[in-house]
Structure 1
Amino acid sequence: MYPQQREREQPIFSARAHVFQIDPATKRNWLPASKHAVTVSFFYDASRSVYRIISVGGTKAIINSTITPNMTFTKTSQKFGQWADSRANTVYGLGFSTEQHLQQFAEQFKEIKEAARLAREKSQERFELANPALNIAAPQLSQELSEDRHSPPLLTVNGPGEEKLFRSKSAEVELTAEKERVKKMLSEGSMCEINLEAELFTLQDSNAKLVEALQEANSSVEQWKKQLAEYQEETDRLRDQVAELEAQLGHPAAAQSDKEELSRSLEELETLLRAKDQEIQNLQTKKTDVSELEKEKEEALQRLQDVERQNAELENRVTSAEKTLATSREEQEQAEVDVRHIIEVLDVKLCDLKGLRESLAKLVEK
């Protein structure tokens, strides 16, 4: 489309779609005209009163179709539609991302098709007004318009020999040839196979979305494995810390019950971690149903929360054991102070007794 055409044409409606064209060799298969979804727009050329569908892919126009009143946009599936352009000698197909987008495009096509019909009728009226030498027989014209609105009416001219002139004869021949080409194109193309091609396009799109969802699920599984490894390291650290605290305690018998409880908690946590590892292996083998993966993901998150809660409880128990150890140490230090005080008192008493003994011994010698 040239720059002058861009200036005089105004966009009416635009949509994103995958563009296809019928294979000119077989008239049965679809050939993709674009690698990705492109913008497909309706344009109106006010200078010529013409409506067109235009789509540009890169630097070339992949759709340049002038809308005529006898065109029909057909929805062949929930997301695919097509129309035949006899002037371009091809059939265009559009694959949309949603059924709503297809419906909007079809409604816009219908409205612009009606507008093209009205524009053609107005151009015919202007042609009649611009030729005052033509004497149009009104009853005959009304009858012919009611019989075929798309065929130009027959005009009679009052003159020698009662000669008859056909207005817009070239337009009539063009419409007739266009109808024949459309009928031939639709008869050669197998509508069933076209529908199958459209359904294949839809299935390929759904398959791509499913693969993307599975890839996201795989990345989530890797994140869960990393979190489980971190929890395993944290559990080992807590276990070492508990063993160290037990070694530092002066009375292991008093902390035996806490030790057993902590051991049970650690065993439960290890069992849960092993179960989680098994679930991860199961997740890696189950990649056929995205909904099932989502459900198992929620269950895994819930179990991870349970593991976090158990870790918090274990940390609380470790904190309590540390407090108990600190209290035992304080009591032991206090007992040592009391013992040293008693020993000092006993030393003083022993000195006093020794002095008394010496005094008694001197008295006995005298």
Structure 2
Amino acid sequence: MGEQPIFSTRAHVFQIDPSTKKNWVPTSKHAVTVSYFFDNTRNVYRIISLDGSKAVINSTITPNMTFTKTSQKFGQWADSRANTVYGLGFSSESNLAKFAEKFAEFKEAARLAKEKSQEKMELTSSPSQESVAGDLLSPLTPESINGTDDERVPTGTPQHAEPRAPASQNALAFSHSSSNVNKHWEAELAALKGNNAKLTAALLESTANVKQWKQQLAAYQEEAERLHKRVTELECVSGQSPVIRSQKTELNQTIEELESALMAKEEELERLKVEVESANEFQSQKDSLTQKLQDTESMNQALEARLSELEQRMRSNQREREAFRHSLRSLLQLLDGKLFELTELRDALGKLLESS
């Protein structure tokens, strides 16, 4: 099944400065998700935290680890495998208490899992050792050669009892059984040599780890003593001057205000991200509308050019019509003159007819 998350919270992640071993170095710019994971295949518990694609915490919980609360909202633990000390800053005291409770719970589960694995190793190793011991002892007993006490022929057996097998047959059977036992011993000896080599390698690795752990433990003890002395000095100074206490209280309040302000800023940042996404959508819509407007303007220009062309044609048609009308008026005037002349000619002809 792999690893499965079993508990998650949010906190600011820090690591001890590897050069000074005194100052805390933040490994995340803002609060990140810190989760407990359980690996079914290896039966181990781990603390994992990611800041984007970067793993800021990758710590396997062991029975010798201890989670320490150094303030109301801050806790730390040492990881000898990663050769560092992790620190977590929480937004509230309840989140810190819940994380510490889960740490103790999974630490106890890791201890029980380790004990069970050791018991399994002991159970798997003990039968082979017992079988080897039994095989080493069984060929050396006289019962395996001459039989048990019940099978032996008593000294007071009558002369007509069943005779024993010849000495040559007994020697042949004894040599055959001895060769089988030697082969069995050689196989067991080879297995023991292999196990001994594995145990020697594991012992050397454990010795090297123990030396490294002792060095780290000595460094942690020196650091703890220095921190205890520093705390004692600060307590003495704080006991002597109430002003420092008030300053410490003010600093704690300022830190809480800054944390709340930071959380508000993070919420504001998330809101701004949403607004930026919506603004990007609006920008894409604006670009689309701008493109459509440009297309419309080009079409409008084409229509205006066609309209001006039509207006020119209409004006030319009007001029042609005016010229046509003018020519028609001229023709009508000419026709009226001709008609008047014809009328006068008719009247004259009529008078001539009447006079004749």
Normalising by structure 1, we get a TM-score of: 0.43
Greater Cα radius of gyration, structure 1 or 2 = 2
Normalising by structure 2, we get a TM-score of: 0.45
Q: Which has the higher contact order (CA 8 A, sep 6+)?
A: 1
